[in-house]
Structure 1
Amino acid sequence: MTSEHLRFRTLLYRFIFFDWLFQDVGGARTPIERHAATQHNRRMSKYLPVYLRRWSFLTVLDFALGCLVERALQATLLSAWFFTWTCITATGTVVITVAWIFLTQPQQP
């Protein structure tokens, strides 16, 4: 399916989440399939820094909105919502970073 036929929700999902780029190594039945999936995932790891930048931007944006809402509007519940999303997106950046580090390491014999 070309990108012009994809729905907006699908494009937004693919813009934010990266799991659609990778293959499940655990679902491979043979060593050859497992090796092919691993090699595919290693090739696709070159896109992880792009997602890391996006998630880092979301982390900073959520934190800034939390600070702004807390200082300017004195809305503690709304600011807590933004700070909670800051924690979630910061966790996402850690996951992306760890995946990128492990996938870009040289293969072990």
Structure 2
Amino acid sequence: MTQLINNLYNDEAGFIVSAELVLVATIAVLGMVVGLSEVAFNVNQELEDVGSAFGSINQNFHYNGTAGHKGGIAGSKYNDEWDQCDDSCDVSCDVAPTGESY
């Protein structure tokens, strides 16, 4: 049994293939990290665009009241005011990280 373990320990037949696989896997992981960073940045930009589109919808509405011989109903009016973050480009992903304040 020890002879088998020593033979397996000293066998170097797959060493080159393993080293190549480690190199290729490392390059692939680094490429995926850079790619996912770009995906995250672009997803944030698209979500910010969607939020800006919802914020720019004109929400003003009103309807007139009606009145007849035996009754009437009043109308209603709503005026949408400008809110903070209604503008586009409020989210910035290019800000440098800041340290904690104590």
**Normalising to structure 2: TM-score of the pair?**
0.32
- Structure (1/2) with the larger strand percentage: 2
**Normalising to structure 1: TM-score of the pair?**
0.30
- Structure (1/2) with the larger helix percentage: 1
Max radius of gyration: which structure? 2
